[in-house]
Chain A
Amino acid sequence: DIQLTQSPSSLSASVGDRVTITCRASQNIGTYLNWYHQKPGKAPKLLIYAASALQSGVPSRFSGSGSVTDFTLTISSLQPEDFATYYCQQSHTAPLTFGGGTKVEIK
């Protein structure tokens, strides 16, 4: 199975901060990497697909980059509604797998 390792596991940031989360895959997954965020008690929501493509309706402050094994999600200016847990997910090979999550908290 493809393992995804996210870092950090949690971070504290202020509104307006630039935030970066990384995801490392255990093998080459090309650009088959997607990002979601999840608020407490809610279902996850797709933000970025194919490593860097913005899902329809998602604000442009979210961006993704990377390929092969190393990927990054960046929030250019953190907004109050962005405090959530972020997950990466690989869509390269079944079983589909997720990273362990990064909790973004208010500083």
Chain B
Amino acid sequence: QVQLVQSGADVEKPGASVRISCKASGYTFIDYYIHWVRQAPGQGLEWMGWINPHSGGRNPAQKFQGRVTMTRDTSSNTAYMELRRLESADTAVYYCARGGEGYCSGDKCHSRLLFDSWGQGTLVTVSS
């Protein structure tokens, strides 16, 4: 079965960087986008960007451009997300999620831009 296993919780000081890993199993890693989504305590969901593991192409949300780097290692089926210049507002649970199949049946599209499997989440706390 599809599984995404993320690295453990992290505490960082303001101005530091954090790197989260997301190891995929149960499917062909390069065939599906990996998205990153975060959720601040008690808040809703915020999309950060995607990476295409096949090509390495990526599309970070404009809000995070210049501060986020998404990479992948196809030899270990692992995606990574690094967020730099952390501030307290970055305290959140960070999720990786697999994109959809990328096919359409009639007008029903299981788009690459939806999230059909999720990691367990990684809590990042930014505190001095």
Known: A95-B61, A97-B47, A101-B44. A43 touches B121 (CB 8 A): yes
B69 at the interface (CB under 8 A from A): no
CA distance A49 to B102 in the complex (A): 12
Interface size class of A (residues with CB under 8 A): 20 to 34
A36: nearest residue on chain B (CB-CB)?
B115
B107 neighbours in A (Cβ, 8 Å): 30-31, 50
Q: How far is the CB of B102 from chain A (nearest CB, A)?
A: 11
Residues facing B in A73-96 (CB within 8 A) are 87, 89, 91-92, 94-96
Contact B59 A94 (CB under 8 A): yes
Across-interface contacts of A62 in B (CB, < 8 A): none
Is there contact, CB below 8 Å, between A49 and B63?
no
Provide the residues of chain A in CB contact with B111, threshold 8 Å: 32, 49-50, 91
Chain A min CB distance to B49 (Å): 8
Within 8 A of B (CB), among A17-41: 30-32, 34, 36
Q: Which residues of B contact A (CB under 8 A)?
A: 35, 44-47, 59, 61-63, 95, 97, 100, 107-111, 113-116, 118-121
Interface residues of A (CB under 8 A from B): 30-32, 34, 36, 43-46, 49-50, 52-53, 55, 87, 89, 91-92, 94-101
